[in-house]
Chains A and B, each alone.
Chain A
Amino acid sequence: MIAELGLAALWLAAALAALQLVAGALGLTARGAVLGTIVRPVAVVQGVLTLLSFAALMALFWQTDLSVKLVAANSHSAKPMLYKLAGAWGNHEGSMLLWVTIMGLAGSTVALVERRLPERTMLATLAGQAFVSLGFYAFLLLSSNPFERLNPAAPEGQGLNPLLQDPGLAFHPPTLYIGYVGLSVAFSFAIGALITREVGPAFARTMRPWVLGSWVFLTLGIVAGSYWAYYELGWGGWWFWDPVENASLMPWLAATALLHSVSVLAARNALRTWTMMLAVVAFSMSMVGTFLVRSGILTSVHAFAVDPERGSFILALLLINIGGALALFGLRAGTVTEGERFAMTSREGALVFNNVMLSAILGIVLLGTLYPLLAEAFGAQVSVGPPYFNPMGAVFVVPMLVVMGIGPLLRWRRDSLARVRLSVIVPLVLMLIAGIVLAMQGVAVLPLLGIALAAGLVVAAFLPLRGRKLRQVKLPLWGMVVAHFGVAVSLFGMACDSAYTTEKLVALREGDTVAVGPWQIDLVVIEPVAGPNWTALQATLSARYDGGSAVKLQPQSRSFWTPPQQTSESALETRWNGQLYAVLGERGEDGRWQLRLWWKPFVTMIWYGGILIALGGLLALIGRVLSDLRRGIARDKIAYRKLRQGR
């Protein structure tokens, strides 16, 4: 019953999306203007229906209703409740339903709250949103129905992959998804503005909160995913330049560029065409990423439910949505007149530089990710990995970060470097000193550059606050400072991990001791333990940092029975200056236990930095929304006063 209800809600939502598209399009014409009035209510109801449908799926997973195919294939009655619920989006069909749900809710929110833009642009925007949604509804309903019944019902579910039975699954995919799909709003705004040719600061201010919000979620999603892989995969790596990871990085790069260019558009009415294009590209990258992952077209993903039919379907969606949007861009962008002009040495100039560099990095990541496919077309197999991405990325990241340190100090429109020369002396000197010290230590080039840049940027990030009364600094400026500081912190973590990590692979008996960096580690005992749906062998390690007091680490080697599988659970001990990482391996023939141990100085800074970046975005978002609200209230007051005076 619940399944049928969910399916019905989904069909109804799809029908409303069609109505929204037609009414929105006709509403733009002179004769259909009256139809335009139903667009907003329809968008709201559509969002509610998608939410209902998703709630139905959650309920089915909650009850472990094994007469539903998706539940039987991905859940199990013996699983902890959190993972039962997370199972709802831990698969293709459920995650696509989550996608349309977020998209529907985003559409409702736009329809409910956005009042700043001309109504024509709003109609075009909501019609665009409906158009994109319709494709995904078709995908769900025609080829990936999450509510399909199983007759007869399965006696027991097949369980969820043990590596996915982790809090990471509950948090990471939905976060990333909100980011991906949030960008669809920016996409629709761009479509709307291209259709009605109304691009300006008001448009940028309307779009900005959506970009900021999506970007915050994307950042958190990537940070969570990276940390999850770091502790779950058990080899201490946190980024592999795998196609699947790149698929999540590319929308983030585009959104970061968009975030900066939309600020130029809002503040200075410049970069109109460029911002339009980025808005289209950002969501396109979300869809391209989804396509690359689902179609199984790249080697990395082929083991995950390869389905050429799904791949073809998403490709058709890409072709219609992205192809259509880019064609519209080609036709209309020329008629959106270019905005205000500015000098190269100015705030705008620095932001343009940032945009160009981010786009170049995006280009390199895309190139490296797709190149194996291109090589295959010529009958050869090549691999593109860290030895390519790291130095190539650095070529563009390094100049970009240097400008990131200086740009925020520059004035809008035109400025001279001489004016800010004194301010940047401190970070520059810090950078030089760090560079020289590291060079004497014999640190490799990339980590050296990373740490030196981070040292300079940590200070440079706060320079925009100089000479201001801190209590009067507006939230968006705080946001920028915090986010740029986060970049420095994260960069520091990455570079330290690569420069100073100590690895020890050892075979120990109970009672043996080993040294890893500054740590002394004793293997105390190995014993069996039991969990809710697994049993494990657990090692108890006693670790002392630099002769200090002992801390306990308990890495496990787990055996799950639904489905039967072995995983190793790493154990982490976090200090302010790094992390000790322990993994229990197999027992050798001589009775000694295999242990993998790493001391990773400052590795946690990678994710703390990421969280700071997201926090910066959040501060800016709150600041923008608050001032928008204030402006809206002031406007209403004036209108009200006028009304009373009129009486």
Chain B
Amino acid sequence: MGGDKDQADDKGKAASPTPFRYPEVLAIADAKKNFSSIVRESSEALKLYMVGNALRREAPRSVILGEQALRVLLRGVQGHPVWEEDAEHHLWSVEVPEFEAVGQGETKEEAVKDLLWAVVELAEDYIEDIAFYFKIGWQDKLPFALAAFLAADDPERLRRLLGV
């Protein structure tokens, strides 16, 4: 009897449309109830959680991911600054095309400081209003916005990200 059951199970597996197991989706109510442990496990044990509406399965879901894992995901994000000197007015411009951010100053260092300011401001605005930036076609700049947002409190890290 047991053998028949195993065979039936194997047949069931073979008929499955995909060999992958779908991730378990945590219901919002359960996530709410266990939020502190979810935050601890995602940040410290690098566990990823997917949270969704249990009643509306087609509704968009959310992913809870620790900062450490997010930093790894964003490792490849890198700016390539373009410099230009206006000798007549003694002004330097620096633009990071990947994020369409620009800074200027009377020296290169002043231009970099201006650029850092612009990038942080823009990243904060992007994170606060992602829907707007998606509307203007900036979806591909989300990784840069996230990387800049995470580096905003560390000028050296931000400089490395921007390549200045």
Answer whether A and B are interacting partners.
no
